[in-house]
Amino acid sequence: MRITKDRLEVKPTFEGKDSASGWLQIVLKGLDLDGVTRLVIDLADLEGLRERQHGADDLFQRLRDRLGGDRSE
């Protein structure tokens, strides 16, 4: 069964554990898995997820910097 990129997500933490590379989450809800013996993922889709995640992290940091960041000093 081919898993499409809309069912993939890279998370920085899982069950309280951090990972520098992240955790790959595959959403299986709604899939008919009867008789499935393997899941196939295009690595290009995974790389695209990582690029979007880094882009979102960069955007968050830029917004935080513009809004003054953490001023708890």
Residues 2-27, mean pLDDT to the nearest whole number: 88
Specify the pLDDT at position 15.
93
Asked whether residue 71 is assigned to any structural domain, the reply reads no
- Note the pLDDT tens digit of each residue in 20-53: 888 888 999 999 999 999 888 888 888 888 787 7
The confidence score (pLDDT) of residue 42 equals 84
Our count of domains for the chain comes to 1
Domain span at residue 55 reads 2-65
pTM of the full structure = 0.57
SS3 of residue 59 by DSSP = helix
Residue 73 lies in a domain: no
**Residue pair 50/34 in contact by the 8 Å Cβ criterion:** no
